Amino acid sequence: MSIIYVLIPIAMLFVLIAIGIFFWAVKSEQFDDLDRQSVSILFDDETQASKVSKDQQSTDSSKP
Amino acid sequence: MKHLDCFHCAEPVLTGTQFTTFINNEEQVMCCPGCQAVSAAIIDAGLTNYYKYRTEPGSKQNALVPEELSSFSAFDLPEVQQDFVHQSSNISSVSLSIDGITCAACAWLIEHKLKHVNGIVKIQVNTTTERALVSWQENTIQLSKILNHISAIGYQAAPYQVDEQEIKSKNNSRQFLLKLGLAGFATMQVMMFALALYAGYFTDLEVQYRDYFRWVSLIFAAPVVFYSAQPFYFSAIRSIFSGRLNMDVSVSIAILGAYIASCIATINENGEVYFESVSMFTFFLLLGRYFEQNARQKASVSSSNLHKLIPLTAHRVTENVTKEIPAKSLKIGDVILVKPGEVVSADGVITQGMSSINEAMLTGEQLPVSKGDRCEVYAGTINIEQPIHVQVTAVGQDQLVAEIIRLQESASNNKPKVALYVDSISNYFTWTILFVAVLTYVVWKIYWPEDAFWVTLSVLVATCPCALALATPTAVTCATGIFTRIGVIVRKPGVFEKLPKIQHVVFDKTGTLTCGELEINSAELFSAMNKQEALAIAAALEMSSLHPIARAFDSYRDHQISAHSTQSHIGLGLSGSVLGTHYKIGSAKFVNLTDSDDHAIYLHDTKHLIAKFILSDSIRSDAAKTVKTLLAQGNRVSIASGDTSTHVDEVADKIGITEVNKGLSPGDKLALIQQYQSQSNVAMFGDGINDAPVLAGANLSIAMGSGAAVTKSSADLILLGDQLSRFTDAVKVAKLTEKIIKQNLCWALGYNLFIIPLAVTGHVLPYVAALGMSASSLIVVGNSLRLLKVRL
């Protein structure tokens, strides 16, 4: 049972880290626009965007 | 014929396959050249993903007129920029409000389009507030170019000045979120140890572990008490200074009292601890306040996003030289040139030219007024037909718009104050608790001095007004949630007390009962031409005009037919040739007829009258149903309109309103409302800036989502989707909310009355106090949650 004297402080440390991350997230405006952030993973793909445009150009040029 | 929808904006395509864009290896049909140009710009920039991931269709595009694009150049003037552009070294940054954002894909589209533009350092688009933050290098690119880039992909951007109020409310909201999050984390931990301590009552928990758990709880509860609960302390201190105790006073005493007592118990290793109750209570209360604050902030952002009423620049004429200058540097006596389609930038009188002026933003009436030499024009109104010279007679705060805003502000200060239930209850409640606690302490001190402190504390803890404090906020939070879901935005507190008390509903006509847009009601033909042909010719002629009447013909356009050498005749109509024939279209006077119908438009060729079109302001589809429901609920319903024509009676007749007041000025309307108020509680619907003072004067005011910015900022409620029937739903929800608040208050007061005598006599066991406190709060929260299940 005396192990809790060690484990609980460790748990407290984790909570502190979690609170730190939460504060950072709020201060860096992560919660300002919930609609956008939830789908941004679908979009942010720089290389794919340019690839699509290249495909587009090639199909455009092959168009009669 | 197969019915096609535009690939970009999803509106029906009336032009066949005339406009197409090649997207993802397929020809997609567009409804108009505007949508085609925008979709082509999106594809050319390699942003095809927009069409893949968007969840809402884009907004319909009007073909961009070169003049419109060049109007952005005004934003490059340093005097104009100094109001909203921030500079540091070579980098400038500006906040833009953007029209036309429908979903997250739009934000992605704008960011990616601009990211690759040379000279742009940073761009960040926020879909919730429909705004963008742009930083750019001053010497590489100009602001007008950036705005051009955004408009090329179909969004209208304009710089705006973030007002102090908004920055403050944003900061506030962030502080609330930090406090709430911290309280949440800490509460979870404290509850965990509380569970172990409760279990310790029934099993053997060695004293050393019990004390250890208590110390850990003490540490976790500390940030909640000293950081998260701050808003309650500040509010309590303010109310003490103002001499009227509110709920936050007893909340603060309970939080601090219970925490200090628990600390003493922990240090002395005897007595009881209440760390979990303190944390949980604080968390619940903060949650309610956070939602309330958020809903209010959202409403203030959406109304301040609307573009400014008065333009930033003006064309000043000095000795026949025209120069574009910032509007704020205009002086009385200056002469300015206002081109057709432009907004007048200062109050003045016309010195040269004549034209029609659309004064809808002042009067709410869509039909323009003809004005000639020495006629007065007002800042914010729109010149429709011909260029005019205006001599400035008033600037800044002396202008009519500023006057109206002031009138509205003074009316809102006179608003009858509806006392909140909880405010008055909490005042008595807090005094009673304080009195009982002091009395308990004194009596116990005399007879059993060693127990005095603990019994007094147990009185404070057991009577902790958790349930009472939660009764209103939880119910209001749930109701606000439903309101947001149905598209009703609550702008001001107290709406939930006022809504159920409404007995008399007054509507402005234009823009509320009607859509504020003209449509062709019927067409009468006098020659061999069929209706479709006549309408197409009329539409071709009207195309060149900016007049609201012309917009009614828009949907009848045939792209094969166009008009040549069109001429506009101010206040009369248009003439021009279509397919080789010369036509005139306009009022009865214009085609030499004697007919007094204000809303009729005649099409005439060189010899004969061809057609008569009757125009009317279209009535909202749900107006009749809403009025019927309101009457059935026992409300009085009437119209207060600035319009003098018979159209008001027609509309009233169709919708079923018998009480009609017409031809009223904003002042008359306010007087009428005040007269009604002496008999009953009045709710007022409005949309124009002329309604702002009346809205501020009514017991409850409702603005339409499409209405003017000033109107919305003075209203209590905003109907976002412009659906009138949502109002009757809102009344229903508010009535239920009132009922639930009453139930909550009865329960909370009952519980407190029951527990006080037990606590005063020292009969409340510590775990009973904690249990009672939690249970009473949970019952209140659960009862409020019933609101979310309401069927509309």
d(CA B100, CA B158): 12
What is the CB-side half-sphere exposure of residue B716 using CA atoms within 13 A?
24
SS3 B160: coil
Nearest chain B Cα to A23, which residue? Answer: B178
d(CA B421, CA B745): 10
Nearest chain A Cα to B184, which residue? Answer: A19
Q: Specify the pLDDT at position B407.
A: 56
Q: State the CB neighbour count (10 A cutoff) for residue B477.
A: 23
Query: For the complex shown, is ipTM > 0.85?
Result: no
Of B122, B164, B703, nearest in space to B408 by CA: B703
Written in H, E and C, the secondary structure of B270-313 is: CCCCCHHHHHHHHHHHHHHHHHHHHHHHHHHHHHHCCCCCCCCE
Q: Are the beta carbons of A27 and B108 separated by less than 8 Å?
A: no
Q: pLDDT at residue A22 above 90?
A: yes
Of B388, B385, B374, nearest in space to B345 by CA: B388
pLDDT mean over A35-55:
56
A1 closest CB neighbour out of B53, B126, B209:
B209
Residues ≥6 apart with Cβ < 8 Å to B163? B304
The pTM for the full model equals 0.62
Contacts of B25 in chain A (CB under 8 A): 59
pLDDT mean by block of 10 residues, chain B; 792 residues: 70 73 81 79 80 75 51 70 76 80 78 83 80 84 83 77 68 88 93 86 82 92 94 89 78 85 88 82 78 62 50 78 77 85 83 80 66 83 83 79 60 44 70 86 87 75 70 78 76 77 84 75 78 82 74 75 76 80 81 70 81 80 86 87 77 85 81 87 79 79 71 73 81 89 86 84 70 75 82 74
SS3 A50: helix
Q: Kindly list the distances between the CA atom of residue B445 and the CA atoms of B142, B253, B600, B758, in Å, as whole numbers in the listed order.
A: 78, 21, 90, 18
User: How far B297 CA lies from chain A's nearest CA (Å)?
Assistant: 12
The type of residue at B653 is D
Longest dimension (CA), chain B: 112
List, in sequence order, every residue forming a beta bridge with B600; answer none if it has no partner: B614
d(CA B541, CA B568): 10
Burial class of residue B770 in the structure, from the number of CB atoms within 10 Å of its CB (0-12 exposed, 13-18 middle, 19+ buried)? buried
Q: Kindly list the distances between the CA atom of residue B733 and the CA atoms of B701, B726, B787, in Å, as whole numbers in the listed order.
A: 17, 10, 8
d(CA B129, CA B96): 11
d(CA B783, CA B740): 7
d(CA B688, CA B670): 14
Q: Are the beta carbons of A52 and B182 separated by less than 8 Å?
A: no
User: How far A25 CA lies from chain B's nearest CA (Å)?
Assistant: 10
The type of residue at B165 is Q
Q: Are the beta carbons of B48 and A23 separated by less than 8 Å?
A: no
- B21 close to B52: Cβ distance less than 8 angstroms: no
d(CA B227, CA B255): 12
Contacts of A4 in chain B (CB under 8 A): 209, 212
Contacts of B216 in chain A (CB under 8 A): 8, 12
| pLDDT, greater one: A25 or B513 | A25
Q: Specify the pLDDT at position B692.
A: 73
Of B277, B286, B288, nearest in space to B461 by CA: B277
Residues belonging to chain B with any Cβ–Cβ distance to chain A shorter than 8 Å: 22, 25, 43, 45-49, 53, 103-105, 107-108, 112, 125-129, 174, 177-178, 181-182, 185-186, 189, 209, 212, 216, 219-220
Residues ≥6 apart with Cβ < 8 Å to A9? none
Q: Are the beta carbons of A43 and B25 separated by less than 8 Å?
A: no
Contacts of B49 in chain A (CB under 8 A): 43, 45, 48-49, 52
d(CA B386, CA B371): 11
d(CA B58, CA B50): 10
d(CA B654, CA B490): 30
Q: State the CB neighbour count (10 A cutoff) for residue B166.
A: 15
Q: Kindly list the distances between the CA atom of residue B751 and the CA atoms of A28, B397, B422, B437, B634, in Å, as whole numbers in the listed order.
A: 44, 56, 16, 17, 37
pLDDT band at residue A48 using 50, 70 and 90 as cut-offs: very low
The type of residue at B7 is F
Contacts of B45 in chain A (CB under 8 A): 53
Q: Are the beta carbons of B174 and A26 separated by less than 8 Å?
A: yes
Length, in residues, of chain B:
792
For an interface test with B, the pick among A38, A56, A61 (most B C-beta atoms closer than 10 Å) comes out as A56
Q: What does DSSP say about strands B636-640 and B504-507: parallel, antiparallel, or unpaired?
A: parallel
Q: State the CB neighbour count (10 A cutoff) for residue B317.
A: 18
- Token match 């940054």: residue? B93
SS3 B73: helix
Dihedral in degrees, nearest 10, Cα atoms B145, B150, B154, B160: -100
Residue B547: its H or E element: none
pLDDT band at residue A13 using 50, 70 and 90 as cut-offs: very high
d(CA A52, CA A48): 6
Q: Specify the pLDDT at position B269.
A: 85
pLDDT band at residue A49 using 50, 70 and 90 as cut-offs: very low
- B506 close to B682: Cβ distance less than 8 angstroms: yes
List, in sequence order, every residue forming a beta bridge with B355; answer none if it has no partner: B371
